[in-house]
C-alpha cells in the first residue's frame, strides 16, 4: 500500500488530500484570503506560506512528510508536452519559478510537491498539466500564419474521464475514440483519438463555447472593431474575454444556480443565455466528432455544470445521434493526481522526463 499526498493549488485556495492507494484518508481545501496573498510580490513567493499550511494540516491529521511514498502536484504552465506522469526536475522548477510560459497559481503544484517530497524523502510528480499538447498538425493551423492554435485545456480531468469511460466501454483508453466536454467555469471540448487529444478548444484564452466567465469565440471583425474603438485598454479587453464574458457579461453572475433562479422567475434573457451556452457546447462536440472522422465510441460530459440535468439534456438532445452520451458530473482532480502517481509506483506507467520526453 502506498501513501500519497496530492496538492492542487488554486488562485485563493490549496486543495490537499492524502490517499492510501485510491482510498481517501484526508481531503481539505485550505482557503487563502486575497488580503493575505497580496503581501507576496509574485506567485512563487507563496511557496513557504502554502507549504506551512499543508504540513500543518497533515500533521494535525496524524501524518508527516516522512510517511509519504509520493507527493503529486497539479501541473503548471510549462512547455507543451504529451500527456502522462512527469517526475519533477530542476528545469521544470526553474521554468515555473521564472514563469517562462505563463502566470498561474497551478505553477505552485510542482514546486510544493518537490519541496515536501524532498523533506520527506519521497518521489515528486505532476500529472497531465494544462499544457498537454498532442494536437494533430492540421489542428494548429488558422487562417493567418502569424497565429497558431495552442493546446490549453482541462487535461487532468479530460484524461481521467477518458480512462474511466474507456473502462466502462470494456477497453483501454488507447483503444477508444471519445469526445469529452469539461463543463465548469471554463469549458473545454476535446477529441480523444486512441489515447491522444488531437484537438480541443483553448480554454484559457476563451476559444470555443461561451462559458460562465469566458466570451468564447467571437466574430473576428467585430472583435477587431472593439479592440480599436479607443474605449477599452488591452487589459480591459482581455478581462472581457476571459473573466467578464459569457454569463457574467449577459447576466452579471457566473453561478449557474443563480441563472436557474432567474429563469424560474421568468427572466427571458437568462433563459436564452442558458440555452445558447448549451447550444455552443453541442456545436463544439460536433466539431470534435468531425475531427475524429465521425468514429466516436462515446461522448462524455463532466465538470460542475454536468450536475444540472436540464443543461445536460439540452446538449444530449443535439449530439446523442453521434454516439452514446455518458455523464460524469463534477471532478476529482486530487484523485486523478493520485491515480497518476499510483500508476508509476505500481509499474503500470513509466514516469516521463521533462527534459527529454516532450515529443513522442
**The C-alpha cell of 320 is what?**
446523442
Instruction: Provide the β-strand partners of residue 301.
Output: 181, 327
Hey, is 174 helix, strand or coil? Answer: helix
> Domain 137-329 in CATH: superfamily?
ATPase, nucleotide binding domain (3.30.420.40)
User: What's the predicted TM-score (pTM) here?
Assistant: 0.91
- Could you tell me how far CA 54 lies from the centroid of its own chain? 22
CB 126 within 8 A of CB 353: no
Residue 66, φ and ψ in degrees, nearest 5: -75, -10
List the CATH code of the domain at 3-130+334-345: 3.30.420.40
Break the chain into its structural domains and give their ranges.
3-130+334-345, 137-329
Instruction: Please tell me the predicted confidence (pLDDT) of residue 205.
Output: 86
Please indicate whether the domains covering 3-130+334-345 and 137-329 agree at the CATH topology level.
Answer: yes
Instruction: Please tell me the predicted confidence (pLDDT) of residue 359.
Output: 57
Hey, is 109 helix, strand or coil? Answer: helix
Hey, is 41 helix, strand or coil? Answer: coil
For the chain (length 360 residues), average pLDDT per consecutive 10? 95 93 95 90 94 97 96 94 96 95 92 97 96 97 95 94 97 98 95 98 92 95 96 95 95 96 98 98 98 98 96 98 97 94 96 79
Instruction: Please tell me the predicted confidence (pLDDT) of residue 358.
Output: 66
Amino acid at each position: 500500500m502506498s501513501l500519497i499526498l496530492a496538492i492542487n493549488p488554486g488562485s485563493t485556495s490549496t486543495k490537499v488530500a492524502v490517499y492510501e492507494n485510491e482510498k481517501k484518508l484526508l481531503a481539505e481545501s485550505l482557503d487563502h484570503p486575497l488580503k493575505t496573498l497580496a503581501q507576496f510580490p509574485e506567485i512563487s513567493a507563496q511557496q513557504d506560506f502554502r507549504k506551512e499550511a499543508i504540513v500543518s494540516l497533515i500533521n494535525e491529521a496524524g501524518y508527516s512528510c516522512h510517511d509519504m511514498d509520493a507527493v503529486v502536484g497539479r501541473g503548471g504552465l510549462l512547455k507543451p508536452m504529451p500527456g502522462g506522469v512527469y517526475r519533477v526536475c530542476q528545469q521544470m522548477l526553474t521554468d515555473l519559478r521564472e514563469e517562462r510560459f505563463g502566470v498561474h497559481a497551478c505553477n505552485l503544484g510542482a514546486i510544493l510537491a518537490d519541496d515536501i517530497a524532498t523533506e520527506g524523502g519521497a518521489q515528486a510528480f505532476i500529472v497531465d498539466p494544462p499544457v498537454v499538447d498532442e494536437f494533430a498538425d492540421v489542428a494548429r493551423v488558422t487562417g493567418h500564419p502569424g497565429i497558431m492554435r495552442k493546446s490549453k485545456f482541462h487535461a487532468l480531468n479530460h484524461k481521467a474521464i477518458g480512462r474511466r469511460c474507456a473502462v466502462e466501454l470494456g477497453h483501454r483508453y488507447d483503444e477508444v475514440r471519445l469526445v469529452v466536454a469539461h463543463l465548469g467555469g471554463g469549458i473545454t471540448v476535446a477529441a480523444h483519438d486512441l489515447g491522444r487529444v488531437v484537438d480541443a478548444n483553448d480554454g484559457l484564452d476563451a476559444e470555443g463555447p461561451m462559458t460562465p466567465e469566458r466570451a468564447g469565440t467571437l466574430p473576428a471583425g467585430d472583435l477587431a472593431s472593439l479592440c480599436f474603438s479607443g474605449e477599452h485598454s488591452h487589459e480591459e479587453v482581455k478581462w472581457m474575454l476571459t473573466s467578464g464574458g459569457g454569463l457574467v457579461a449577459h447576466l452579471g453572475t457566473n453561478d449557474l444556480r443563480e441563472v436557474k433562479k432567474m429563469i424560474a422567475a421568468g427572466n427571458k434573457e437568462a433563459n436564452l443565455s442558458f440555452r445558447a451556452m448549451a447550444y455552443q457546447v453541442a456545436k463544439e462536440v460536433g466539431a470534435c466528432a468531425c475531427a475524429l472522422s465521425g468514429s466516436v465510441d462515446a461522448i462524455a460530459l463532466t465538470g460542475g455544470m454536468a450536475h444540472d440535468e436540464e443543461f445536460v439534456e439540452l446538449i444530449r438532445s443535439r449530439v446523442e445521434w453521434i454516439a452514446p452520451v455518458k455523464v460524469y458530473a463534477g471532478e476529482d482532480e486530487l484523485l486523478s493526481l493520485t491515480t497518476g502517481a499510483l500508476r508509476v509506483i505500481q509499474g503500470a506507467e513509466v514516469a516521463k522526463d521533462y527534459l527529454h520526453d516532450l515529443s513522442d
